[in-house]
Amino acid sequence: MTQPVYQPNSLNTLTPNIWDIIVFIIVIGILAGIAWGTQQMALPYKVGEPIEISLAPSALPRYALSSVLRMFIAMFFSLIVTFTIAPLAAKNRQAEKFLLPFIDIMQSVPVLGMLSITVVGFIHLFPNSLLGPECAAIFAIFTSQVWNMILSLYQSLRTLPPELREVSKMYHLSGWQKYWKVEVPYGTQALIWNTMVSMSAGWFFVVLSEAIEVSKQNITLPGVGSYIDKAIREANLTALMYASITMLIIIILYDQFIFRPLLAWAERFHAEIDEETAIHQSWFYDLLTKTRLLKTCEIVFTKFADVFVNGYKRLIPRKQLKLSEKYKERISATSVVCWNALLVASLILTAIALVMLIRHEVHTKEVLHVFYLGLLTSIKVAILIVLASLIWIPIGVWIGLNPKFALVIQPLIQFLSAFPANLFYPLFVIVILRYNLNHNIWTMPLMILGTQWYILFNVISGTENIPKDIRLAVRNLNVRGWLWWRRMILPGIFPHYVTGAMAAAGGCWNASIVAEYVEWGGNTIVSAGLGQYITQYTHEGDFPRIALGIGVMCIYVMFFNRVLWQKLYRLAEERFTLI
């Protein structure tokens, strides 16, 4: 008996079912929320005009919608930049020399410093409109998300297994086809995990981006971040409790409707699936697969994706795509010269601009003092990264080796990583003041609270990616103890760990602007460091000293990038690989 042929254009397929109606209602609700939020972003506004933030619980739903919309707009642009910059850094050695230090610096540049520079430009770009401060806030959130995502995809592209490279050669894939058909699918799961932690880390900076205080000028945007900022300033524990409940609801919603369906969808890219492999499940993803009209939309999307990946071959004859070896060498030599010239010119121009800005305002003695403050903060960052690694590497490996348990604990980890660390600061302030503790020591954990999750997420991802055959071989040989760590675990997770540790270190530098200058009601706790210096003069609007603080921070970050992170990346590529 012959089986009926599936016809996607049949009347039965085009007729909506009950699942289509449910999804349609959800989509209409999402679109209505986006329309309302974007309308609020374009309201008339003049700089200096106060925007009242209510601490009433009834105001939190609309504040939450505004904050979530800013987060996802920033995430959209982060993905575009990631898919553009990561392959350039991974495939072009000269571009890599410029882009890796640039990424490391940018993820360490304080959000306050970023806002102090960009908010003025966006206000002039959109005069007499709330869109200026909104764009500045979105840009600040974007800068807190994008760098970790770029590093994640970059690391996946650099550690592509040899067998996948051979597959692309076997099928004669061009560089463009190889990127979208082989490399991006291989890096999808790690990118989703790092997108989750980047989204979570963005909540830490929502407070700073929605409650902008620059040059003694307050610009407050309606949102959960500004709500939390006002609650902290007024020492209102009840309002902080309401904000915590709202955050919990938000995290559950976007986990169920976005990230969990993405993880379930990404299972198709899993290299090895057997009875021990834990498959991510999502009720919403299952709901989508039951719809009929969305299946038709999937067919249209597949056609579009085919044109996007393969369509250029129909427009450009293959013969025109081939270049002679001599021409390739000439292009490569030109590329080397151009990238080196760009790097040198960028360093020279940055140094000249910094010197011109601060030379009339800051004396040499103060410059040396700022370098000393940078040394203190760098010591704090190094200590915190080591301690966080000692804690989270064993835990991450254990979770990664027990994938079914990871399915249960992943939502908890995601909630903890998304929960704004700022909400824990009042507890530290109360304890420090009550017991008269040393400010310089006991404010250090505040720097790592929101960034330690980069290490945990990447260690889990690295452990899950250890090939099954290697795990079985190690188990059969009864390898245990330190030999087990040295021969299987550390080589397997090392490339992922470097990505996580580098992102965590950058986050620590960024978090120092808040952790070294903590406010709770009428109390302010200040600890010595570069973050305290930048925060103090940002509030005062002293741009030469802001530039000095950010410049010194960039120098320290570049130093660590050259001395530590780039060498670790090279080590991960050359020696620490199981594939």
What sign does the dihedral 42-45-48-52 (CA atoms) show?
A: negative
- First CA to last CA across the chain, in angstroms? 47
Nearest-angstrom CA–CA distance, 40 and 31: 14
Contact by Cβ (8 Å): 515, 531: yes
One digit per residue, the tens of pLDDT, for the chain of length 579 reads 444 444 444 445 556 778 888 888 888 888 888 888 888 887 887 776 778 888 889 999 989 998 889 989 999 999 999 999 999 888 887 778 778 778 877 776 766 666 766 777 788 888 888 888 888 888 888 888 888 889 889 888 887 888 888 888 888 888 888 889 889 988 888 888 788 878 877 777 787 788 776 555 677 888 888 888 888 888 888 888 898 888 888 888 888 888 888 888 888 776 655 555 567 778 888 888 888 777 777 778 788 877 887 776 555 555 444 554 455 555 556 666 676 676 677 667 766 766 776 666 777 788 889 999 999 999 999 999 999 999 999 999 998 888 777 777 777 776 777 666 777 777 788 888 888 888 888 888 888 887 888 898 889 888 887 877 888 888 888 888 888 888 888 888 888 898 888 888 888 888 888 788 887 767 778 888 888 888 888 777 777 888 888 888 888 887 887 788 878 877 876 665 554
In Å, what is the CA distance from 116 to each residue of 44, 52, 113, 272, 366?
A: 22, 22, 5, 48, 21
Per the CB < 8 A criterion, the answer to whether 116 and 538 are in contact is yes
CB 59 within 8 A of CB 126: no
d(CA 473, CA 578): 12
Distance separating alpha carbons of residues 215 and 210, to the nearest angstrom: 16
Helix (H) or strand (E) holding 523: strand 523-526
By DSSP bridging, strand 217-220 and strand 211-214 are antiparallel
The closest alpha carbon to 406, from 451, 452, 459, 480, belongs to 459
Beta bridge partners of 217: 214
Residues 159, 577 contacting (CB under 8 angstroms):
yes
Q: How far apart are CA 174 and CA 190, in angstroms?
A: 24
CB atoms within 10 A of CB 390: 9
Tell me whether residue 421 is exposed, middle or buried, using C-beta atoms within 10 angstroms of its C-beta: 0 to 12, 13 to 18, 19 or more.
buried
Which amino acid appears at position 64 of this protein? A
Q: How many CA atoms lie within 13 A of 156 on its CB side?
A: 27
Rg (CA), the chain: 25
Closest CA to 45 of 132, 117, 120: 132
**Are 97 and 343 within 8 A, CB to CB?**
yes
Q: Which two tokens stand for residue 521?
A: 């009601």
- Residues 389, 368: Cα–Cα separation, whole Å: 32
Cβ proximity of 531 and 514 under 8 Å: yes
